[in-house]
Structures are given as C-alpha cells and as structure tokens.
Structure 1
Amino acid sequence: MSNCQGCRRTYWSYECGICKDCFVRWGKTVKVLQREIKELKDKIAFLRIPSPLDHHDQPSYTDVVLLTASDDGTPESSVPVPAHKAVLVNRSPMLKAKLENEMEEKQTASIEISDVSHDVLCEFINYLYTAEICLDEKLACELLELAENYEVKHLKAYCEEFLVSKLNWENSITRYVFAHRHNAKRLLLAAVSLITNNMSSFIERDEYMKLVKKEPGLLVEIYEAYLYKQISAVPRKSP
C-alpha cells in the first residue's frame, strides 16, 4: 500500500503513484507528461556520443590521445586513451586551450595529463562523452580534483554531491581540508557544520593536532564558524 501523491489517501498499488480517482481526474496530464519524458529520453539517447573506450573492436575515428605518467613516470610508456578533439574542446575549456594554443599538442595530437592514474583518466574521458559514472569515495575525490583542474563544472558538482552524501563524523575533518583545497563550497559547508556541531569531540581527534601543526589557518576558520553559530543561537533582546 502507498499514499497517493495527489490526494494523499492510502491506496493499493496503481500506475504513476496516484490512486485511481486521481488518475482519472488527471489522466490526460499524466499521459502528456509521460509522453514528454519518453521524448526527452529518446532525444538524450540520440544525442549521446558513445565513448571510444566502450568499443575497442570497432573504428571510432578518434583524432587525439591522452597520456598519463605510467609506473616509471614517463608518459611515453603509458597506455594512450583515445578521444575526439571536438568532444574535448566542448567539454573542457582547459583541454580546448591546450589543443588550440600549444604547438606540441597540435603537432603530436596528444595531451599529457599529469598526476592521475590511467584508470582515473579513462573514467574522466568516459564521463566527458556520457555524463555517466559509478563512483566510490576515492574515485570521487580524484575526479573532483581533475574536474577542477580542467574546468569540467558538471563533473565537479556531481562528485561533490556524492562526497556530501558520504560525509560522516569520521571523515569530516579530512573532507573539510580536501574541500578547502579544491574550492568545493557545498562539501566545505557540510563538513564545517558537522565539525562545529561536535566541537567537544573535535579537539580530541588526531586530525585536530595535525591542523594545529600544519594548517592553523583552517583551524581558525573552523573556530570562527563555531563562534558565529554560537552568536546566532543567542536570542536577541528587544530594545
């Protein structure tokens, strides 16, 4: 049994999440919305560009490769990741600048992406084509940093939203530091809120002493946020 989204009455399972009476009353509107949703899905499927990494046995007509440092630190020995210039320049302002302005990239049709693993680079390129990805916390952090560096705002926001959903007391301090470094404002606010709600426990954490020694400026910002929260909680007296 469920509650109708229209009249909130309890009803036995029925199409579209509404009871039979509401379906009859709104049936035309529901059908129109269903048709519009289907049309949008069909349009997305039509416009979606397959990633060249999805079909290794078929020609993908790629015209550029991306390289990252391999285990020995040289891009020459890393496995190339194929892509299309047209996709890269429309997804990333930084990749567009590299392809348009740097002579080496023009001549060799290759782009070096440093400080990232081959697997993460593949996930990054796949996302530029499909806007789809299956995240875990480690991958989300790595992709957020890569998305920030290459100005892929949609991917950065997606990773940040995922990390906010995984935020807890145990990882709040490390996530706060990470968010501060990479200008992830939503994650920063969520982390500092969690920390300032648990200040008595905060000063007992090992990470607290690390902040004292290595990043006292961040510690000051946490205390400022805590002080502001305390002041805001005090009722104002009438004049």
Structure 2
Amino acid sequence: MPNSKTMSTWTSGREQGTNVFHICGYSQHRSTAAGEKKKTILSSTFSVGGHNWAVLFHPDGWSSGDEIVAGLVLTTRRVKVRASYELQLVDRSTGLSVSVHKETPRCFHFDAKDHRSFISFFMKKRSLFESPAYLRDDCLTMECTVTVIKEPRRTETKSLAKIQVPRSDLSGHYAKLWEDKVGVDVTLSAGGEEFAAHKVVLAARSPVFRAQLYGPMRETGTEPISIEDVQPAVFRELLHFIYTDSLPPLDHLKADDRTDLIRHLLVAADRYGMERLSLMCQSILCENLCAETVATTFALADQHQCDVLKDACLEFITCSTAMDAVKNTQGYKNLKRTCPPDVVEAFEKTSRFRKA
C-alpha cells in the first residue's frame, strides 16, 4: 500500500545579538553641583533582528542619589518590536560577566506623537555598579544582549523525498555464481549426472548437507558425493532452490509431469531438512488436488508427516462427491497396498461420513 508523507513547519523566529558598551572617565559623567542637570549616556546604535538599538545609562539616577538607571531603547522609527534583553557587568580583572538585570519579552515601539521611542529601564543600587570589580581605572564595561522575537511563520506543505529501494537481488547473484561455476568446490552425483556446487552454500541451506560436508562423520577426499534415490531432474531443481530460494517456472511440463516432479521434490526436501521448500511443494499439491491425485497425495503426506496437506486431502474428500472415481484410481490402489490399515480406514471413513 503506497504511503505518502508530507511536512510543514511552524516557527517562532528569534534573533539575538550582544553589544559591549565601555564608559570611560566614569566619574566625569557624574553631576557634582547642586541643581546641575543630570547627564544621560547613550551608546552607539547597534542592530539586532533588523532594528537599531542603544543602551541607556543615567549615572545619577532620576531621583535618589544612591541609584543608577539603565535600560534599552529602540531607535528605529515607526515600528513595533517584541524583544527581551539582559544587561551584564564585566569584571575587569577576570573578563567574566555577571547579570544585573533580565527583562522579559515586551513591546518596543516608536511614539509618533512625541517623536520618542519606547524605553525599558530599571534602577539598581549605585554600589553594585561602582564595585571595584566592575569600576576600575574610572572605566565601566557593560554587555547588553538583545533577543528579538519575530512573527511566527508557517511553511507551505511539501512532500518529503522518498528513495525507492529495489527488491533484493541476492538470489540472482547466487544463481549467477552457481550457473557460472565460480569458486565451486564440491561435485555431487545424482542418477549418473554430476553437479558442481559450493560447500558453504549447501551447508548454509541444509542441515543434512552441513553434517555431510562439515560434520565429524564427513567423507574426506571422496568425490563426487553420491546422492542416492534422487532423480537428476529433481536434484537440479533442489539445487536451484538452494541457490535462489525459489522454484523455477515449470510451465514447460505437462500437468501430470509437473505434479510428479513436485512430489519427488517434496521427498527430497524432507530428506535434506529444507522446510520452506517442503511447504512450497505441499502448497502446490494442495492447490491441484483432484480425484486423480488426492489418494496419492494423501499417501505421500502421511509418509512424510505433512499433517496440513493430509488434512486438506481429507477435507477434499469430505466436500467431494467423487469418492467412487477416487477408488478407481491407481493412487488409491497404491494407498491400500502401501499405507497402514488405520490410514486407509481414516480415508474411507471420511468418504462414508460425506455420503451420510
């Protein structure tokens, strides 16, 4: 089932910048005479988030003489900006910064009515700013970090890239290896016909071959290895399955010949402990049950403990009215001659149950 995946993003953008502000000759900016106008110190403008800012500093405060006023001012006109900031004092001996004020996000804007920008300010004790750690050689250094919060933005929905992975071609590589006889190291003989193969592949696919080729009872120096009671055509298909994990097309065979080959292949699969091949053969035989084949297939299933296939044969008889035709087949005659009486009785009992 095709599965498409798309993506969109909701982002709340932020941009941050830091300005270092040195106030040299700090004492000269203090008001000394009574009634003298208090001085305002403003840093040069700096840009963060596409807007201009400046640090505001009143060394004499606005009212009380023991407080200092500092803050941030937006100098860009005709805009509204949401931002936060942090002011830090720099220790002149270590170069480390200590935060003295953090301002949560708020709106900065230019007031067109009185042509003044919005100012965010705070007041702190003078003793903090004039501490020997920060005020040294009549110089004070501050750092102001401004974080501009931009308008949220949503991207358009787009499809994620998909990389198509081809089907596994491992079986094709192994088949080519076998076909070209590259690196073959063992010869097997079935019915007088010899087949070249790779020991490690045979051992990986069949526990019987593993024991025969690498087990303690292996026959060393004996080649070709004789494969008893397996026809060459059947053994060829067995090797094909070992290398490709599949059966070749059998369309060139007549129906009876194809069924006969599958039966022999089932026997070989059972002998060499290849369960998947056995199930594939059982599936084919099950799909092709008919009055002519059901008795022979039943006998084969009973002999090789293929219980599911055996039950399928009994079910076929149960659902069929062709028992008389089945009894006239050679397969049924062979069944009565080769199978134990209780097996034949089970087969015929099923037929009698159907008639009842």
TM-score (norm 1): 0.66
Kindly provide the CA deviation profile for residues 84-107 of structure 1, in whole angstroms up to 9, marking residues without a partner as x.
Answer: 111011100111111123666322
Unaligned runs of 5+ in 1: 6-15, 17-25, 71-78, 232-239
CA distance in 2, matches of 1:192, 1:84: 41
The residue that corresponds to 2:276 in the other structure is 154
C-alpha displacement at 1:206, in angstroms?
Answer: 2.1
The residue that corresponds to 1:196 in the other structure is 318
Q: 1:228 to 1:96 in 2, by over 3 A?
A: farther
The residue that corresponds to 1:85 in the other structure is 199
Structure with larger RCO (C-alpha < 8 A, sep 6+): 2
Unaligned runs of 5+ in 2: 7-158, 251-257
- Code of the residue aligned with 1:27 in structure 2: it is S
The residue that corresponds to 2:234 in the other structure is 120
Percent identity, aligned pairs only? Answer: 25
The residue that corresponds to 1:23 in the other structure is none
CA distance in 1, matches of 2:294, 2:326: 14
- For residue 179 of structure 2, give the secondary structure of its aligned residue in structure 1: coil
- For residue 220 of structure 2, give the secondary structure of its aligned residue in structure 1: helix
The residue that corresponds to 1:220 in the other structure is 345
- Of residues 138, 154, 157, the one that matches 2:260 is 138
C-alpha displacement at 1:212, in angstroms?
Answer: 4.5
1:27-66 to 2 correspondence within 5 Å?
A: 27-28=4-5, 38-39=164-165, 41=167, 44-46=168-170, 48-55=173-180, 60-66=182-188
Structure having the larger proportion of residues in helix: 1
- For residue 343 of structure 2, give the secondary structure of its aligned residue in structure 1: helix
The residue that corresponds to 1:97 in the other structure is 211
Q: 1:111 to 1:210 in 2, by over 3 A?
A: closer
For the 8 Å contact 1:65–1:81, the answer to whether it is kept is: yes
RMSD (Å), alpha carbons? 3.3
How many residue pairs are counted as aligned between the two chains?
Answer: 191
C-alpha displacement at 1:110, in angstroms?
Answer: 3.6
- Of residues 177, 180, 185, the one that matches 2:302 is 180
TM-score (norm 2): 0.46
For the 8 Å contact 1:51–1:130, the answer to whether it is kept is: no
Kindly provide the CA deviation profile for residues 183-210 of structure 1, in whole angstroms up to 9, marking residues without a partner as x.
Answer: 2222211111111333673487224555
